[in-house]
């Protein structure tokens, strides 16, 4: 029988479904080719983006978790582990290639990884026909219309966890109130990070909303491979070290300028630049060399020698190593209009945190850090150099800031337990149905 909610599907969503169906040959051909050429797809697994599985579905209950990119994926790993302990198979999907590579390292044994199919009706149906999830859980702000509508039309409960709705996105969705209301009404639960996030999705039409906190606070600090840590520590020796983490295009020049300002005051200063997208490593090394700073790249298997002023950390899954190596870390995506990057990992690993003014993506986290005195905001290369120099030369102030950040982050934990408590009734329902 046709799902009664389908009769209330607004015209824009119906038009979107028709358009994506018509464009499927274009997506499968030209779009896929371009993304492969740009290194944004795995040629061995691009078929998964068309909903074609590369793994068999195990028998029994299967819960599907989706986290689009690295940050979303990392936030759901503890949830994957808890769900597996309940005796269910967990399927995890991601969108980005970097998240898929990290999944190969971080997912617990028994969990299955696939790429999220493109939001084309035929691809979505192919994916759902094969995996037949008993429960679907989407992290943060993934709102793909075909996937949402076709998953719930099958009677599969859909839950949003670690949800967020920025003020900018809220204003955008207000232009199409019936469409966003129709999508949000399909969610059994929207478990949001903050009260503001909850208020926004409720105003847009989500019928069942709770504030459970940010799962990223409950993610264990990333590990560092012992041999790699020893080798890097030996290479760095007693040099002062500054880390620019998760930088985006347009920020590396600012970091390099700050390095040049600090270098006369800090003998043998080493700046580590860990770009958000590691494929930019070659370009960053070239920028440094153009500025007269010798650089070396980790992706080439190198360690920094004393002659190197810049170490480009263009690898995946090693931020635990670099946060441990650097006493001060600038968090990127914040000196450009991106919205900032997650400061939780450096806070847990003892790096003093510096960031730019644009941190809307993690506003609540940075507000808590600021109130506790656990992070410092800068606006340009001059202020970045001044603050970093002060922290690198004032051990007592650096330790005070690190302690304040660690305490602030610890106080914000507990989202994992609250999330599990909220979705517990759905597991009881699954157990009763499969008795």
Residues taking part in catalysis = 72
Cα angle, residue 231 at apex, residues 225 and 236 outer, rounded to 5°: 120
Length of the chain: 435
Q: Which residues contact 132 (CB under 8 A, 6 or more apart)?
A: 57, 62
Can you read off the two tokens belonging to residue 413?
Answer: 């934990």
Q: How far is CA 7 from CA 11, 177, 258, in A?
A: 11, 17, 58
Q: How far is CA 294 from CA 51, 171, 241, 286, 287, in A?
A: 46, 46, 15, 9, 10
Q: Are 226 and 352 in contact (CB under 8 A)?
A: no
């Amino acid at each position: 029988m046709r799902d009664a909610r389908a009769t209330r599907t607004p015209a824009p969503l119906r038009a979107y479904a028709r358009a994506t169906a018509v464009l499927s040959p274009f997506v499968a051909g030209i779009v896929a080719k371009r993304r492969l050429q740009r290194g944004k797809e795995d040629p061995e697994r691009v078929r998964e983006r068309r909903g074609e599985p590369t793994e068999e579905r195990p028998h029994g209950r299967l819960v599907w978790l989706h986290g689009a990119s690295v940050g979303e994926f990392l936030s759901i790993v503890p949830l994957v582990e808890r769900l597996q302990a309940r005796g269910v198979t967990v399927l995890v999907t991601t969108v980005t290639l970097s998240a898929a590579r990290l999944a190969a390292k971080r997912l617990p044994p028994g969990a299955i990884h696939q790429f999220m199919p493109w939001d084309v009706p035929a691809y979505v149906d192919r994916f759902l026909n094969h995996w037949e999830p008993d429960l679907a859980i989407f992290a943060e702000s993934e709102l793909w219309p075909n996937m949402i509508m076709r998953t719930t039309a099958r009677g599969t409960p859909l839950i949003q966890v670690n949800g967020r709705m920025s003020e900018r996105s809220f204003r955008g969705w207000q232009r199409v109130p019936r469409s966003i209301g129709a999508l949000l009404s399909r969610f059994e639960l929207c478990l949001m990070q903050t009260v503001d996030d909850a208020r926004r999705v409720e105003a847009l039409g989500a019928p069942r909303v709770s504030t459970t906190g940010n799962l990223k606070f409950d993610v264990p600090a990333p590990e560092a491979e012992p041999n790699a840590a020893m080798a890097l520590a030996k290479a760095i020796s007693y040099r002062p070290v500054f880390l620019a983490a998760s930088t985006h295009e347009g920020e590396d020049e600012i970091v390099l300028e700050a390095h040049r300002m600090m270098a006369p005051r800090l003998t043998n200063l080493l700046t580590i630049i860990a770009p958000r997208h590691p494929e930019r490593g070659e370009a960053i090394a070239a920028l440094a060399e153009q500025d007269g700073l010798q650089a070396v790249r980790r992706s080439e298997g190198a360690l920094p020698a004393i002659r190197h002023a810049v170490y480009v950390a263009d690898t995946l899954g090693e931020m635990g190593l670099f946060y441990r190596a650097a006493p001060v870390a600038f968090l990127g995506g914040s000196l450009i209009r991106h919205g900032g990057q997650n400061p939780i990992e450096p806070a847990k690993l003892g790096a003093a945190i510096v960031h730019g003014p644009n941190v809307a993506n993690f506003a609540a986290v940075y507000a808590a850090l600021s109130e506790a005195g656990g992070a410092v905001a800068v606006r340009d290369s001059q202020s970045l150099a001044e603050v970093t120099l002060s922290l690198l030369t004032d051990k007592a102030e650096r330790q005070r800031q690190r302690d304040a950040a660690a305490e602030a982050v610890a106080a914000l934990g507990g989202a994992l337990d609250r999330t599990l408590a909220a979705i517990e009734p759905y597991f009881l329902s699954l157990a009763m149905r499969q008795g």
